[in-house]
Structure 1
């Protein structure tokens, strides 16, 4: 069965973006993107690079982890404000929204139904794993369905912002087993956790 993997960049204090939700790695962003971090993504997770970055980096590798990306409306609209209607044209791209009624891109599927039910259906289909790109609200809604966390931990603190899981996540202490880790010289960590069965 396919896994739902929340692969996300986080600060040391647990935030995925600033309070305004704008792209923290964009032209006016505050999030460091060192060369070794980018090189690791190109090598290990090339499918998670946006289409424009893949073109600029001449990355054509399809990747071995994901063939589908799940994204919340607020995260998707960050790209729309920058003129990008589909940041991941090389993946099946689902955007969860109850307010968007028409997709701005023919290859972006809008999903207005329950995210948990949709994720469960997708897990049963053939294919590679499902990448939950964010944002925090969708991750919060899908909290019980996440099978694996891949946290790209930046050596950065914000003090406040959008947390890893936001919205109405209930208090639900969950143990995770560390299954892989990579420490980069720039200070970034890639931490892979599997939901513990214990």
Structure 2
């Protein structure tokens, strides 16, 4: 069965974007540093994105994941013709991801956002959480998590820190509910 990994950055106070949806506050990594991004991408072949996250990515320039199969969850059609690797999905995310995990392939990268991540977390469909804590306080914005129905234990797999203060918290989550 394929793994779903939420690989995401958050401010120290738990926001994944500014109130306007911007991620301009994310620091530019030091020259040559990618925080393990290339290694993570080497095992992935699909992405899951909510509509707002998709809009943020597509409006920031050239589509960055052309070699992946990209699933965007939305009840609205795209505003512009999406890249050929992008599919808009209006089905229930939980049912869709359950079926997707059963298909052959590599890691499924849950890019975000929290509106998509929360039901997948509640359903036990996220296998690992790779949380990059950025040493910044935003004070307000789009939260990492929406309301959860119940507490979930996490198993710490590893931590890593960089000289610029970036910290990776890599957790394994409980198996599907």
TM-score (norm 1): 0.79
- Whether contact under 8 Å (1:2, 1:126) holds in the other structure is yes
Q: Deviations over 1:72-108 (max 9, x none)?
A: 1111111333354x33112111111111267522221
Query: Cα–Cα, structure 1 residues 111 and 43, in superposed 2: closer, same or farther, change >3 Å?
Result: closer
Number of residue equivalences: 172
Change (3 A) 1:117 1:188: same
Which of 92, 100, 104 matches 2:77? 100
In the alignment, does 2:130 pair up with 1:150?
Answer: yes
1:113-154: per-residue Cα shift (whole Å, max 9, x none)?
000011101111111111100011111232222111000111
Gaps of 5+ in 2: none
SS at match of 1:122: helix
Q: Secondary structure at the match of 1:35?
A: coil
Alignment of 1:10-159 (within 5 A): 10-22=10-22, 24=23, 29-35=24-30, 38-45=33-40, 47=41, 63-64=42-43, 66-84=44-62, 86-100=63-77, 103-144=81-122, 145-159=125-139
- The equivalent residue for 1:54 is none
How many angstroms apart in 1 are the aligned matches of 2:65 and 2:39? 17
What is the Cα deviation at residue 33 of structure 1? 2.4
- Of Structure 1 and Structure 2, which has the larger fraction of its residues in helix? 1
RMSD: 2.0
Counterparts of 2:91 and 2:100, CA distance in 1? 13
Contact 1:70 1:94 in 2 (8 A): yes
Q: CA deviation at 1:44?
A: 2.7
**Gapped runs of 5+ residues in structure 1?**
48-62
In 2, the alpha carbon distance for the partners of 1:117 and 1:42 equals: 28
CA distances 1:24-53 after superposition (whole Å, capped 9, x unpaired): 1xxxx22212217833335533x2xxxxxx
Tell whether the 8 Å contact from 2:50 to 2:115 is kept in structure 1 after alignment.
Answer: yes
Residues of 2 paired with 1:18 and 1:175: CA distance? 28
